[in-house]
Structure 1
Amino acid sequence: MIDANLRHLRVFLAVAEGGSITRAAELCHVSQPAVTQAIAKLEAEAGTALFTRTTHGLFATEAGEVLRHRTSRALDALDTQLTEFAPRLKLTATRAQLQALIAAAEAQNFSLAARRLGVSQPTVHRAITQLEKEAGRALFQRSPFGIVPTRGCANLARIARLAFVELEQARAELGDLSGREVGQIVIGAMPLSRSHVLPKAIVAFRKMRPNMAVKVLEGSYDELLGGLRRGEIDFLIGALRDPAPIGDVVQEKLFDDTLVVLAGRDHPLLGQPLPAADELANWPWLVTREGTPTRAQFEAFFSDAGVNLPRGLIETGSVILMREMVQDGRHLACVSRAQAEGEIERGLVEVLTDNFSGTRRPIGLTLRDGWEPTPAQAQMLMAVRST
């Protein structure tokens, strides 16, 4: 379904909802042969019948119902956004034009957008110009440094991308019905999940879906959140934010995590009660970067005690680097318990204190609001929740 054009999908919806080729032709302002041809093309792409033909009309098969549901969700959101620009765009905007819009909005350069799509630069420029002509307004602000999408254009590009993601999910579900694994599951993983929770969840998922491709993306929270909102990532796993960062995502708590202080086997403070903040400030530390929840709790520990932060902090999100650095018997590391669980279980590091900040932070899933997972995505979520 990834290559189906929007007109064919609109015709398909009209048939699915009305059960009649004649009524669909009238509603879509096309001929009956055009409707028949559109349905035949979609069925060829799906590799299965989408309708059961009877004397009383056409009725969606199981595959047809899957495509109807996903297509309806995709076009409802897209058409609402297109209509806000200009009512005609709902009828005239093509898939190729919207793909050009998405690429240009993300690359902020026509040449880079063209390279991403594998077409010529004039092709992208022409597609954008056609959309602007129909919309009666500029979609980009031109400058010597490139192009910047207007706020409305950026939102349209995001909604259009999500609509195409919805159609990708239809493709995956149709493959599922025929016993084929289609597409891949993309997970945005923050550091603490990559070392303990996620590996076990993927192993459990592999037993259910041995052939499904899984892609784990790493990056800062802001980068991963952007990918989630654009539909490039299916869900995030890691520390939750309070409040949720934006209204179009929802958070689901899985468990509470604590901060631990890691040390090497020969550190002088091992085996003693937790020293006061002023004594801990004298030791060299490895901590996560500024802006992370772990860093905020680390700084709050010393601030609440009225003690200046340790000097010469080493910023890193790598547990491997922390593990190696603390072996010198001097360095200490402040990190999420879940993130360091593997090193702790294997005896590669020692825990100086098991609840450093005295607070607990929620760890869980971040999902797009209104997202409906495919069966494979739902099984991955189940594996994560079970773990």
Structure 2
Amino acid sequence: MKWNIRHLRVFLAVTRHSSVSRAADECHLSQPAVTQAIAKLERAFALPLFQHMTQGLFVTPAGETLALRVERALARIDTATAPIAPRLSSTATTSQLEALIAVRELENFSLAARHLGLAQPTVHRAVSQLESEAQKPLFKRSAYGLRATRACQALADAAQLAFAELDQAVMELAELAGREVGQIVVGALPLSRAYILSSAIIEFRKTRPNLLIRVDEGPYSELLSGLRRGEVDMLIGALRDPVPIDDVTQTELFTDDLILVAGPDHPLVGKPAITLEEMAAFPWVVARNGTPTRMLFDKLFDPAETQVSLVETGSMILMRQLLRQSNHLGCISRLQAAAEVDMGLMVPLDFDLTLTRRPIGLTTRVGWIPTRGQLALIDKISQAAAE
């Protein structure tokens, strides 16, 4: 849905005053313009947002739902634009902010235009209009492309979170109308993909068959960035200690520990009381540097003291194949490897790692208000974790 920011401000003014004329005065518009803006919003959602009474216009449940989301979205934009230019919050359009976000991400006008499906001059003009209102450049040219200024970064981040909030409004109003619209984006770390998420999605689908679920995979740092920008709704996997940054919050679901594994034909399989010295003689498949699993592995084999041959990967498939086709050993979450162990594709070694327990859970944005659909999926994730 393409949002008109001015119409949203008009909508909030009507909710505050319960009056078209007073909203028109506040927004410096004619009364017919205010009426037209409200009518467009109601047509877009196919729901009445106001009850028309002799005393004025009073918000319906749908209007209250939309007002909460719009207030949160516009507050983000207003906070980010205030240090840049006083009038920017009232003049910036959705198209301009979308262009700003794309150029910030891709650092090139042509690439941003291709991403948005627009002509390059259109994107350039949109960013130039923002810079003209700001009376300062929002990008600096470098040998590597366009680099966003600090103010530009803050505005682009705020706009992305505002658009995510408005997307949630679309989902919530569709639910009030008995429809399923939008998507839920889950950032999934390896353990959640192998153990939790499939069970949760299967149960979720029994009551919500049409709502799109998108599962994003990648390194923790990338998924965390997506979460903070509003591109990801929730992140599932090993929690960090301490919390990586103060604008996210972590909720523990359960704990898991690590196991050391080998292929079924490895010479250490079945050997009792294996020592670290014996295992150090073999090459290893381990998680990427900086992950909780890797930090626990490094406590076993201190890189400064023990020379161990390593392959770093987050791919279960690659680990399985290396273990099957060679004498590599692996260090992995017990639950993540459960299916492979059950099928005999990996065999746990006789080495005690009970002290490697770490919390597994959800990471979300501070202040995030999930929709009913998002809450339903979180509930199914919690149930799967409990089981």
Q: Which moved more, 1:66-75 or 1:126-135?
A: 126-135
1:31 alignment partner AA: S
2:301 aligned counterpart, secondary structure: helix
**What is the aligned counterpart of 1:373 among 370, 375, 379?**
370
- Aligned-partner Cα distance in 2 for 1:149–1:90: 19
Q: Distance in 2 between matches of 1:313 and 1:148?
A: 36
Once the two structures are TM-superposed, the CA of residue 289 in structure 1 deviates from its matched residue by 2.2
Q: 1:238 to 1:354 in 2, by over 3 A?
A: farther
> How far apart are residue 330 of structure 1 and its match?
3.2
TM-score, with length taken from structure 1 = 0.95
Once residues 138 and 326 of structure 2 are traced to their aligned partners in structure 1, the CA distance between those partners, rounded to angstroms, is: 59
| SS at structure 1 position matched to 2:140 | strand
Q: Is the 8 A contact 1:261 1:332 kept in 2?
A: yes
The structural deviation recorded for 1:346 is 3.1
Q: Which moved more, 1:222-231 or 1:330-339?
A: 330-339
Matched with 1:13 is: 12
- Counting only pairs closer than 5 Å after superposition, residues 96-111 of structure 1 correspond to structure 2 as 96-111=95-110
- Structure 1 residue runs of 5 or longer lacking an equivalent are none
Call closer, same or farther: CA 1:288–1:144 in 2, change over 3 Å: closer
1-structure distance, mates of 2:168, 2:228: 16
Please give the secondary structure, in 2, of the residue aligned with 1:73.
Answer: helix
Is 1:90 matched with 2:89? yes
Question: Cα offset for 1:144?
Answer: 4.4
Query: 1:325 aligned to 2:302?
Result: no
Q: How far off its partner does 1:66 sit?
A: 1.1
Aligned Cα RMSD in Å? 1.8
1:356 shift after superposition: 2.8
CA contact 1:268–1:329 (8 Å) conserved in 2 = no
Q: Please, which moves more after superposition, 356-365 or 201-210? A: 356-365
Distance 1:273 1:69, change over 3 A: same
Q: Please state if 1:255 is matched with 2:292.
A: no
Amino acid at match of 2:52: R
Structure 1 Cα separation of the partners of residues 30 and 381 of structure 2: 50
- Give the counterpart letter for 1:337 in structure 2: R
| Aligned structure 1 segments of 4 or more residues deviating by more than 6 angstroms | none
1:384 Cα offset (Å): 0.8
1:329, CA displacement in angstroms?
7.4
Judging changes above 3 Å, is the alpha-carbon distance between structure 1 residues 113 and 382 closer, same or farther for their aligned structure 2 residues? Answer: same
CA–CA distance in structure 1, aligned partners of residues 350 and 228 of structure 2:
37
- Partner in structure 2 of residue 342 of structure 1: 339
1:314 aligns with 2:311: yes
Is 2:180 the counterpart of 1:181?
Answer: yes
* Distance of 2:19 and 2:227 partners within structure 1: 38
Q: In structure 2, give the amino acid aligned to 1:317.
A: G
What's the offset of the Cα at 1:383? 0.8
TM-score (normalizing by structure 2): 0.95
Once the 2 structures are TM-superposed, how far is the Cα of residue 325 of structure 1 from its aligned partner?
3.0
Amino acid at match of 2:310: L
TM superposition shift of 1:72:
0.7
Correspondence for 2:290: 291
In the alignment, the residues of structure 2 paired with residue 238 and residue 178 of structure 1 have an alpha-carbon distance, to the nearest angstrom, of: 34
The one-letter code matched in structure 2 to 1:359 is T
Instruction: Give the CA deviation at 1:94.
Output: 1.3
- Output the CA distance in 2 between the equivalents of 1:206 and 1:367: 22
Aligned length: 384
Following the alignment from structure 2 to structure 1, what is the Cα–Cα distance between the partners of residues 256 and 212? 29
Cα shift at 1:130: 1.5
Structure 2: how far apart are the matches of 1:262 and 1:32?
A: 72
Structure 1: how far apart are the matches of 2:235 and 2:315? 19
The Cα of 1:62 is off from its aligned counterpart by 1.4
The range that moved more, 330-339 or 227-236, is 330-339
Q: Give unpaired runs (5+ residues) of structure 2.
A: none
